[in-house]
């Protein structure tokens, strides 16, 4: 394995020096390979991170990294997130794992975003979206194979490709599929037909995953994309819209339970998890419980509930706002919300309606899916968000070149 990794690293470094566009393609295609765990010199990493690191090193050596234009608001918001991360590590029940989380879910996505920003111009955005779409193909094919042959690897007997959970599959596929559907409007010929084939297979994979959240996110993303394509969003509504969305995400669990919008068995588990998450936040509202703390603390908190315990071991809180608050505390959460506001400001200033609708729909899927699941705190999900954000800034800050 070590010889293979060294060989791939050398090839990727050479490719970065002679064909940067192809090297970036390979980086994006390799995102789902974060599941291939590696321990060079005893340090935890994965195949995707090594491919990205080699590419980034090549750009660094060639002095091809673009200068980042960071305004005061973004700098302050990022500072709050960093404070939240520091607290998350200090309060974490497993500080080594927490440091690895900071590396894989925050630093690596930032490096990927910087790499995309450095190598891509507005007229090349379609190539990045194409590579993202192609990255879903092996996952979709494996998921459909599992469905046809009833060869599942999850306890609940649902398709999941090579992920541990069917929800993980839909969380990765949904934003990419929606962006592909919208951007494919301006693609033609064989590539357009190929894209529709990949999208169709991906949609089937999401459906067979049994993820109602994934299917709902697809629908919401298409609606947001269609509206974005036809209407102009007033900038003065950005801050109240983001804050309102955060409030909706926070109170949505209670609304879902009361109105019985989801399958009752699945919802009962989630509602108990949400109640535990709310109790965690109330008892540690300022600094949270630390990174990788939910799974560790869940048995204690669920045992304190005056009700039968449905699940004794849960990995995360099934809500993006809850998870952020628990991991990063109130300070980190406010920093994240402030960053989202900055991103949306940039997004609505995009003049190209197709790009606006495409990237806007991707964000909509991620945040809507965050109502009932955690759509960021995972290697591949954080990198997809980083790519979307970098493409927003490519469109608004860099001029197109032929």
Q: Is residue 27 part of a domain?
A: yes
- Asked whether the beta carbons of 337 and 243 are under 8 A apart, the reply is yes
Strand 37-38 vs strand 45-46: parallel, antiparallel, or unpaired?
antiparallel
Q: What is the pLDDT of residues 130-185, one digit of tens each?
A: 999 999 999 999 999 999 998 988 888 889 999 989 999 999 999 999 999 999 98
H helices present in 260-369, as ranges:
264-283, 294-303, 320-348, 353-369
The pLDDT of residue 242 is 73
What total of structural domains would you count in the chain? 1
Over residues 26-37, mean pLDDT: 92
Q: Mean per-residue pLDDT for 293-315?
A: 88
Inside any domain, residue 29: yes
Under 8 Å between Cβ of 391 and 128: yes
- Compute CA distances 71 → 78, 120, 194, 343, whole Å: 11, 21, 40, 12
Task: Kindly state whether residue 298 falls inside one of the protein's structural domains.
Answer: no
> If we measure between CA atoms, which residue out of 279, 274, 282, 386 comes closest to residue 330?
282
Which pLDDT band holds residue 402 (cuts at 50, 70, 90)?
A: very low
Non-local (6+) Cβ contacts of 224 within 8 A are: 360, 361, 364
Whether residue 17 is contained in a domain is answered as yes
Identify the band that residue 13 occupies on the pLDDT scale cut at 50, 70 and 90: confident
**pLDDT exceeds 50 at position 338:** yes
Of the candidate ranges 221-235, 247-261, 305-319, the one whose mean pLDDT is the lowest: 247-261
| pLDDT tens sequence across 350-392 | 999 999 999 999 999 999 999 889 999 999 999 999 999 999 9
Q: What percent of the chain stands above pLDDT 90?
A: 62
Measured between alpha carbons, how far is 372 from 252 in angstroms, rounded to an integer?
A: 8
37 within some domain: yes
Domain that holds residue 59: 1-65
Is residue 187 predicted with pLDDT exceeding 70? yes
**260's tokens:** 């019985």
Q: Is residue 372 part of a domain?
A: no
The pLDDT score that the predictor gives to residue 70 is 86
More confident residue, 251 or 61: 61
Number of neighbours of residue 376 by Cβ within 10 angstroms: 21
Domain presence at residue 33: yes
Residue 371 located in a structural domain: no
pLDDT given at position 17? 72
């Amino acid at each position: 394995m070590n010889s293979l990794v060294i060989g791939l690293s050398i090839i990727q470094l050479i490719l970065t020096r002679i064909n940067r566009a192809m090297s970036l393609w390979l980086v994006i295609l390799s995102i789902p390979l974060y599941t291939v765990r590696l321990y060079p010199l005893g340090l935890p990493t994965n195949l995707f991170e090594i491919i990205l690191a080699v590419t980034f090193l090549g750009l660094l050596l060639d002095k091809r990294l673009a200068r980042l234009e960071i305004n005061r608001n973004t700098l302050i918001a990022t500072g709050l997130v960093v404070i939240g991360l520091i607290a998350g590590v200090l309060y974490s029940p497993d500080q080594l794992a927490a440091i690895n989380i900071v590396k894989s879910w925050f630093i690596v996505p930032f490096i990927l975003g910087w790499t995309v920003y450095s190598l891509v111009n507005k007229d090349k955005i379609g190539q990045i979206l194409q590579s993202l779409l192609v990255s879903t193909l092996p996952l979709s094919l494996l998921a459909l194979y599992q469905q046809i042959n009833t060869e599942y690897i999850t306890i609940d007997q649902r398709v999941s490709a090579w992920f541990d959970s069917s929800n993980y599959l839909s969380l990765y596929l949904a934003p990419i599929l929606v962006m592909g559907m919208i951007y494919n409007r301006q693609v033609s010929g064989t590539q357009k037909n190929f894209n529709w084939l990949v999208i169709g297979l991906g949609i089937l994979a999401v459906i067979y995953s049994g993820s109602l959240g994934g299917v709902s996110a697809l629908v919401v993303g298409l609606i947001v994309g269609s509206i974005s394509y036809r209407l102009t969003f007033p900038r003065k509504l950005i801050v109240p819209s983001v804050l309102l969305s955060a409030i909706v995400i926070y109170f949505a669990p209670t609304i879902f339970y009361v109105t019985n919008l989801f399958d009752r068995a699945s919802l009962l588990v989630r509602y108990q998890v949400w109640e535990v998450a709310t109790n965690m936040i109330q008892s540690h509202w300022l600094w949270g419980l630390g990174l990788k703390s939910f799974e560790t603390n869940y048995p204690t908190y669920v045992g304190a509930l005056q009700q039968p315990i449905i699940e004794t071991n849960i990995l995360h809180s099934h809500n993006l706002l809850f998870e952020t608050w628990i991991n990063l505390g109130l300070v980190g959460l406010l920093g994240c919300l402030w960053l989202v506001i900055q991103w949306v400001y940039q997004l609505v200033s995009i003049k190209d309606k197709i790009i606006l609708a495409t990237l806007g729909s991707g964000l909509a899927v991620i945040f809507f899916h965050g109502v009932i699941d955690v759509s960021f705190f995972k290697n591949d999900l954080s990198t997809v968000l980083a790519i979307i954000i970098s493409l927003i800034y490519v469109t608004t800050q860099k001029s197109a070149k032929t």
